[in-house]
Structure 1
Amino acid sequence: MEEQIKNLLRQVIHPETQRDIVESGLVEQIASDDGRIAVTLRFTKARDPFAVKIKNRVETLLHEAYPDAAATVIVKEGGTAPRPEPKLKSTTGGIAHVIAIASGKGGVGKSTVTANLAVALRNLGYRVGILDADIYGPSQPKMFGVEGYLPEAVREEGEDRILPAEAMDIKLMSIGFFIKPTDALLWRGAMAVNALKQMIHQTRWGTLDFLLCDLPPGTGDVHLSIIGELKIDAAVIVSTPQQVAVADVVRGVELFRNENVRIPVAGIIENMAWFTPEELPQNRYYLFGRGGARRYAEANGVELLGEIPIVQSIMEGSDEGHPAAGIDPRVEEWYRAIAQRIVEKAVKGC
């Protein structure tokens, strides 16, 4: 029966290592006798953040498979480290700096900011790439007008390499290239993370000065995977002025400041800071409140990198596949100033 239980527990995947808990050596002991089952889990890390989640998953599987048995799951800490997972031969060696673009919640324009920052960095003379890591809502193909791109694979040095799309001299890789726009991406966390790892390590990035990672909103498996797979030089948080958005900024900042993560936060960008009508370029209307991100930044020792207003060219550029920083001098000026601050912080280590 112990072997049956062991096979059952192979369904449980540790979110950080992406390996099942049996293979990882986390199942220390399995005992069954007289209608009782006891499973002992030993985690290498003290206070493993996934320990409770894994314990609950094991209990659920045991109750479902053996409803008449009394199942107990015991958690211990400290022990021999799991065998290291073999690493993919990575194509990221030519990337000088990686910048994570994150947001506490959706709908704040994070992908639009990422696209325009990439163009601004290119305008400053840098070689730039974008990893669209927003697995469940990939936007970069549309932002750059390459929705129909179908990635090809080439064989180099005995390894498969995926050719990225190129638009406006920017290299792009997105899960959006591999699915139809009408398809729902019904993936569990582990499947999404594995696809992301392939995009990171098998894309032929070449030599880049900056790789911008467009992360999903919030915090979760994808964020932890990115942090584990790439050496991120700095994180940029995108928010809008209203309090509900700024409240979620806290989660984003604290994710990168966590003692187990320790990625410098370059600062906050306040998007949709005000509305300027095309016919009244000097007028400003603060539709979502005023200065919420600025107040948070000042109170928490985070730099406000800049404010981006709502202007027609930004919205039109996103819809038409031409980021506004490449066609509207006003927008380019705003993003150029932010890009310069990010460059300074990335190079100096914030």
Structure 2
Amino acid sequence: MPSHQSPFRQTHTEEIATPPDPVTESRQREVIQYLKQVIEPILKNDIVSLGMVRNLRVVDDYIYLRLYVGKHQHHLQAEIQSALSPVTWCKKIYIQICTIPGVRTTLAISSGKGGVGKSTTSVNLAAALSLQGAKVGLLDADVYGPNVPQMLGLGQADVKVIDTPNGQKFLPLEAHGIKVMSVGLLAEPDHPLAWRGPVLHKIVTQFIQEVEWGDLDYLLIDLPPGTGDAQITIVQESPICGVILVTTPQQVAVSDVRRSVHMFRRVGIPVLGIIENMSYLICGHCGDRTPIFGSGGGQQLSAELHAPLLGQVPIDPSICMGGDTGTPLTLTHPDSTVGQVFVQMAGAIETTFRPCEVLTG
């Protein structure tokens, strides 16, 4: 059995051996209440509800926590110190800043199951954000099906390792103005990525901590489908400020997405919105829309999660062709129906995360 602890499962032995200490529990609840007074100004919610505070521990008269932030949020450390100043029993507060150097906003793209077009959505959303003038990186963390390099025309390019003041780091490749790192760039062509738990954990952690991204407005992380070890490691180890869920209209896909939602809620990662892929097929002759895979799944999830339905992407053979040839449809035909949907979604993300910069140009 693995020896590491998981926030999603406590062993029966631990539950018996470590009964809760009433004083410590009371102090931890007090600390959480004070931390909830610290509001992240962009998302307009407290840092506890946003999952920015993790690994909170109260040991004797000391407070320990990790603060997961983007490069523009380091000021929250001082705000935490100020918010906790009324805690009379605390001798010292230890805050470990966890960030990806140079990255302003980290967003996860997730799905409950494979085959719903999550990687295609990630690639085209990255392209649409790039068209908005943003500096974008795309981390393909789908260790079971790393398709992003092919979708961006990178093939089996070599990844370089460079020396930095913080040690050796991977240098991401670049395609269509988007910086890219992928498990698929390191694996042998057509070989299965048969990595087990400890190796998988190490590789995923390296991808988060040991890539020299430079200055980015957005880092999109294309997560593996489902709720396994890789997904848990990524959401625990990276400063993800929110997740965008990709689904298709049918109820089977919606049910799988709900499982992912529970995982994100356990670690406090907010759901920023829903993207419904393969929503309908547009007739090339009359322009009528036919919902081949049913309808209403994205709207249903949006209502359940109180998260906006960011967009409904139609079925278009051109988007598949763009993925096969390494030229995303949103870049080559931004005025197409698919392109317009992605550009609109990118605009909504920009309005949320870079309102001042957008207004000032």
| TM-score, structure 2 normalization | 0.72
Partners of 2:264 and 2:235 lie apart in 1 by 9
2:29 pairs with 1:50: no
Q: Which amino acid aligns with 1:236?
A: I
Aligned residue for 2:2?
Answer: 12
1:71-86 → structure 2 map (5 Å cutoff): 75-77=17-19
2:309 pairs with 1:304: yes
Q: Deviations over 1:32-67 (max 9, x none)?
A: xxxxxxxxxxxxxxxx53323x869xxxxxxxxxxx
Aligned residue for 1:292?
Answer: 297
2:233 pairs with 1:225: yes
2:145 pairs with 1:134: no
Q: Percent identity?
A: 39
1:50-129 → structure 2 map (5 Å cutoff): 50-52=9-11, 75-77=17-19, 92-129=100-137
State the 1:98 CA deviation.
0.4
Larger Rg belongs to: 1
Aligned residue for 2:271?
Answer: 265
2:251 pairs with 1:243: yes
State the 1:75 CA deviation.
4.5
Work out which of the residue numbers 326, 330, 349 in structure 2 matches 1:342: 349
2:201 pairs with 1:193: yes
Equivalent residues of 1:266, 1:342 under 8 A apart? no
Equivalent residues of 1:276, 1:283 under 8 A apart? yes
Q: Which amino acid aligns with 1:228?
A: Q
1:112-191 → structure 2 map (5 Å cutoff): 112-157=120-165, 159-191=167-199
Q: Which amino acid aligns with 1:343?
A: E
Partners of 1:178 and 1:241 lie apart in 2 by 34
Cα root mean square deviation, aligned:
2.8
Partners of 1:164 and 1:215 lie apart in 2 by 18
Q: How many residues align?
A: 285
State the 1:74 CA deviation.
5.8
Tell me which moved more, 289-298 or 199-208: 289-298
Q: 1:120 to 1:126 in 2, by over 3 A?
A: same
Equivalent residues of 1:129, 1:172 under 8 A apart? yes
Q: Deviations over 1:89-125 (max 9, x none)?
A: 9882200000100011111000000000000000000
Q: Which amino acid aligns with 2:9?
A: F
Aligned residue for 1:33?
Answer: none
Partners of 2:332 and 2:209 lie apart in 1 by 32
SS of equivalent to 1:241? coil
Partners of 2:218 and 2:166 lie apart in 1 by 27
Equivalent residues of 1:91, 1:205 under 8 A apart? no
State the 1:184 CA deviation.
1.2
Q: Which amino acid aligns with 1:309?
A: P
Q: Which amino acid aligns with 1:341?
A: A
1:294-333 → structure 2 map (5 Å cutoff): 294-328=299-333, 329-330=335-336, 331-333=338-340
State the 1:189 CA deviation.
2.0
State the 1:179 CA deviation.
0.7
SS of equivalent to 2:191? coil
Aligned residue for 2:34?
Answer: none
Equivalent residues of 1:273, 1:286 under 8 A apart? yes
SS of equivalent to 1:213? strand
Q: 1:185 to 1:77 in 2, by over 3 A?
A: farther
State the 1:77 CA deviation.
4.4
Equivalent residues of 2:282, 2:314 under 8 A apart? yes
- Stretches of structure 2 that go unaligned for 5 or more consecutive residues are 25-56, 67-96, 356-361
- Stretches of structure 1 that go unaligned for 5 or more consecutive residues are 1-10, 17-47, 57-72
Equivalent residues of 1:241, 1:289 under 8 A apart? yes
Q: Which amino acid aligns with 1:345?
A: T
Q: Which amino acid aligns with 1:262?
A: G
